[in-house]
Chains A and B, each alone.
Chain A
Amino acid sequence: MGTVIARRLAFMVFVLWGVTLVTFFLSRVVPGDPARLMAGPEASQSAVEHLRRIYGLNDPLIVQYGRYMRDLIHGNLGFSFVTRRNVRTDIATFLPATIELAGCALVVGFVLALVIGTAAAYRRGTATDAAGRLTAIAGLSLPVFWLALLLQLLFHTKLGWLPLGGRLDPGMTPPPHLTGLLTVDSLLTGHFATFVNAVEHLVLPVAVLAAGVYGLMVRIMRTSVLDSLSEEYVRTAQAKGLSRWRVLRRHVLRNAMLPAVTVLGLEFGLLAAGVFVVESVFQWPGIGNYAFQAIQANDYNATIGATLVIAVIYVVINLIVDICYLYLDPRIRYT
């Protein structure tokens, strides 16, 4: 098992290096002058030329890439021309917002999928089952941006129940920074009104993202519950006279969880796409919004930094999933 993990880690480094290579050269072939972007439209030609010399923008691309990699190894992601801050600082600022959003969506979608998937499996072939299938496919078919706008239209514009976007009302002071997750921080420091406000802001974006999570997960839950229902140990447990609830909890669900773990990698890919769109619609100050703005402004240090962070998280999650799988089921062959 040790060698397998070592091989996976080596592969992870290779993949991340590939990501830097792709994003670096992709962002440098864009027409447009980063030095001009940095200096601003009114700057003189000599000032632009000066900046270009300082940042070595006249050097061959391969030299620039070497310099970027040297900085990267020292943990330096460079300077964002748009926010005029260090990209690492930017990411540290924006990432918690995304973690809070995506984490809540994952939990909500998963719980929903667990309940509906189990119900569909127990009532196989009935209307409940068909509804489970239809909602699963609907969850993956609804355009994220449209669902987001529709919910805004209904719950903000028409009903006025929920805020339009952002993480807190404009007048609200954020709680002291502990984790960066506003709900957690406000609870820990006893700012209850802030907590309620943060939750209100979370409801709509989380609902939109959770729809996709649910869609991907519910049918897998259904299938694995069905599989484990037909196992001998479930029959044994039923024969022992255990209550239905106990059989479900201790015998069926515990074994049905494994396939759900394996789709976490896929879930993350879906969430990354969703976060990109949802954060833009809800003005959520997270990493997706940051990456989107960076891409649009051709702010290449920020673009590479943000995509690299997303890729790191993605690769690490897949590694964890693989290790879990390996640990839980030693029969799996790695080739």
Chain B
Amino acid sequence: MINQDAVEQGRLTRGTAGQLRRAPWAVQPFLAESWLNVLGVAIVVLVLLLAVFGPFIAPQNPNQLNLFAILQPPSVHHWFGTDNLGRDIFSRVIVGTRISVEVAVIILSLSVTFGTALGIVSGMAGGLIDEIVMRITDLFLAFPGFVLAAAIAATLGPSLQHTVLALAVVFWPWYTRLIRGQVLSLREREFVLAARVARAGRVWIATRHLARNVLAILIVQVSLDVGYAILATSSLSFLGLGAQPPTPEWGAIIADGRNYIQTAWWWITFPGLVLALTVLGFNLLGDGLRDWIDPRLRGSFGGMQG
């Protein structure tokens, strides 16, 4: 909420545009700022590499049963041990990386595209359209997001696709609010007025001037939300509302391992550790980026926790 207020008051805009212009490929100053930024970037890069190349480097087929090696503790052959069907948990976790990253990318593409478009329209149109859009987002934000997502996922029937859809439905209003606030303050800035004086069309202004200037804040928000999207997906899978067995999704792997908690501690421990580190990496990156782009926002963490 605090973040939202700051954004809507347009406090973000001043620092953002300037930073973005010199930012994109100059990673070094960002890394030099704090070792936590280095840690975040390192984890994110590793996760992305695993997502792309995971299926090629996984030592075994993630769904390969091996009844001679069930419930083996971690060893040289099975780094994370094996499950009750003798599947190699390390391979399952590696392959699961792609699922989690893919899911997060789809959720965020859907909600960012829809939310941003609606936010720009709402901010530029004003009046009745703005009022209607804002009341609809209020309706969504009045609801603890995770609970709504769980209800939608359950209604549609448990599957990974439905979880993705449910989370996208919950995520978009945050982007609409964020972008609308930005547009409202950008609208009054000189370069937009200048464009208007030059008789630029609305679509031109929206795509050339507004969309580019909200990019920096959008990048920050997305990098914070990737972690949350991954976390929410695996939580729903853990509850049985998302990915179904034998899909090697992290939450689903842990849900399976729960029944063997007395005998096979490794089964829940390692997949969870990888999940936690992944989310930590994205959060560190997003948090560092936000501080770097606008130090005044330091401390106001994230958007849609819950």
Contacts and interface: CB of A to CB of B under 8 A. Distances in A.
A263 interface: yes
Contacts of B302: 140
B162 to A, nearest CB: 12
Contacts of A143: 231, 234-235, 238, 251, 272, 275-276, 279
Nearest to A322: B1
Interface string B285-304: 00100000000001111101
Interface in A288-324: 291-292, 295-296, 303, 307, 310-311, 314-315, 318, 321
Nearest to A26: B155
B142 A15 contact: yes
A157 B279 contact: no
Contacts of A307: 143, 147-148, 151
Contacts of A150: 268-269, 272
Interface in A247-296: 259, 262-263, 265-266, 268-274, 276-277, 280, 291-292, 295-296
Given A11-B138, A141-B279, A280-B239, A273 B301 contact: no
Interface stretch (B84-92, B214-222, B254-262): B254-262
B283 interface: yes
Contacts of B34: 130
Contact of A149 (B227, B235, B261): B261
A23 B154 CA distance: 12
Contact of A137 (B254, B287, B298, B306): B287
A296 B231 CA distance: 21
A19 B142 contact: yes
Nearest to A269: B306
B146 interface: yes
Interface residues of B, number: 52
Contacts of A212: 305
Given A140-B302, A223-B298, A153 B265 contact: yes
B2 A259 contact: yes
Contacts of B227: 141
B301 A216 contact: yes
A277 B283 contact: no
Contact of A220 (B234, B239, B299): B299
Contacts of A133: 36, 287
A92 to B, nearest CB: 20
Contact of B145 (A273, A296, A321): A273
Nearest to B286: A137
Looking at chain A's contact residues, the main secondary structure is helix
A146 B272 contact: yes
A136 B301 contact: yes
A219 interface: yes
Nearest to B158: A296
Interface in B122-175: 135, 138-139, 142-148, 150-152, 154-155, 157
Contacts of A220: 2, 299-301
Interface residues of A, number: 66
Contacts of B148: 307
Given A143-B272, A295-B150, A268 B301 contact: no
Contacts of B268: 146, 149-150, 153
A234 B302 CA distance: 30
B236 to A, nearest CB: 9
A263 B305 CA distance: 11
Given A26-B155, A277-B239, A269 B276 contact: no
Interface string A142-157: 1111100110110001
B142 A137 contact: no
B38 to A, nearest CB: 12
B298 A145 contact: no
A30 interface: yes
Contacts of A274: 306
A269 B299 contact: no
A101 B266 CA distance: 29
Contacts of B240: 296
Interface string B50-70: 000000000000000000000
A29 interface: yes
A263 B147 contact: no
B1 A263 contact: yes
Contacts of A270: 305-306
Contact of A269 (B138, B139, B258, B305): B305
Contact of B238 (A23, A138, A277, A291): A277
A220 to B, nearest CB: 5
A277 B251 CA distance: 12
Interface in B243-273: 251, 254, 258, 261-262, 265, 268-269, 272
A18 interface: yes
Nearest to B231: A143
Contact of B154 (A140, A146, A296): A296
B17 interface: no
A134 interface: yes
Given A272-B147, A272-B306, A142 B276 contact: yes
Nearest 6 pairs of A and B residues by beta carbon = A269-B306, A223-B299, A146-B272, A273-B146, A272-B144, A141-B280
20 contacts: A19-B142, A23-B151, A29-B155, A130-B36, A137-B287, A141-B227, A143-B235, A146-B254, A146-B272, A215-B301, A220-B2, A220-B300, A223-B300, A266-B2, A266-B306, A269-B145, A277-B238, A295-B151, A311-B143, A321-B1
Given A145-B254, A276-B150, A291-B147, 12 more contacts: A18-B139, A137-B280, A138-B276, A138-B280, A140-B302, A145-B238, A145-B239, A146-B272, A223-B298, A268-B306, A273-B147, A277-B239
